[in-house]
A and B are shown apart, each in its own frame.
Chain A
Amino acid sequence: AQSVAQPEDQVNVAEGNPLTVKCTYSVSGNPYLFWYVQYPNRGLQFLLKYITGDNLVKGSYGFEAEFNKSQTSFHLKKPSALVSDSALYFCAVREVADDYKLSFGAGTTVTVRA
């Protein structure tokens, strides 16, 4: 079975400071990993994904994530947070061998204060 854990319900940072949202996963095989962002009363928007290759993945809006196989982690990062980054962030995992099931974490609410 595959699963995702986002250990922090909330992350609060000051604008201009680095932002990290943590994600760990569990799969029996190789993973595909995704990050999505949800703004209030909106659907989820795709940010970035890890499929294979370089462990550092760059995505939309200046976000990046690092795949760490030994620690089974895929933390989302942004060097300098903006107030507009305040949103709900979801990590998701899919096993390479599984065609349809995408498992989501519970989500982390990010608040960036001015």
Chain B
Amino acid sequence: IAGITQAPTSQILAAGRRMTLRCTQDMRHNAMYWYRQDLGLGLRLIHYSNTAGTTGKGEVPDGYSVSRANTDDFPLTLASAVPSQTSVYFCASSDWSGRARNEQFFGPGTRLTVL
């Protein structure tokens, strides 16, 4: 593993189903993030985690939950998917030392379609 991996690459999901998007990083970054990318809106932060065991809400958290049991993994769960959650989802991480000045590294994304 090099950098950030996400799974699955793409998924078509029926509305009402539960779905977990997986994210794993091997850079030992303490901060991790989930974004959704929608045309014309750029990237919007869903949830973040500053360190293992802590999480926080971003700009668009409704309908999503996250957990951070260890440094490397940061899964995103849609408890009951709705069509408005059709999007491309990106996981990212950053080194927390130096805080806000550090750039984030992004995974390849998961394309999710909710029908």
Contact = CB atoms under 8 A, between A and B. Distances in A.
A46 B105 contact: yes
A95 interface: yes
Interface of B: 4, 31, 33, 40-45, 48, 50, 56, 58-59, 90, 92, 99-101, 103-109
Contacts of B107: 43
A35 to B, nearest CB: 10
Given A49-B101, A97-B100, 5 more contacts: A32-B100, A43-B108, A100-B33, A104-B42, A107-B42
Contacts of A46: 103-105
Contacts of A34: 103
Interface residues of A, number: 26
Nearest to B107: A43
A102 B35 CA distance: 10
23 contacts: A4-B42, A34-B103, A42-B108, A43-B4, A43-B90, A44-B90, A44-B92, A44-B106, A45-B106, A49-B101, A98-B100, A99-B99, A99-B100, A100-B48, A100-B100, A101-B45, A101-B58, A101-B59, A102-B33, A104-B42, A104-B43, A106-B41, A106-B42
Contacts of A36: 106
A5 to B, nearest CB: 10
A105 B41 CA distance: 7
A100 B41 CA distance: 19
Nearest to A47: B103
A100 B90 contact: no
Contact of A96 (B4, B33, B43, B100): B100
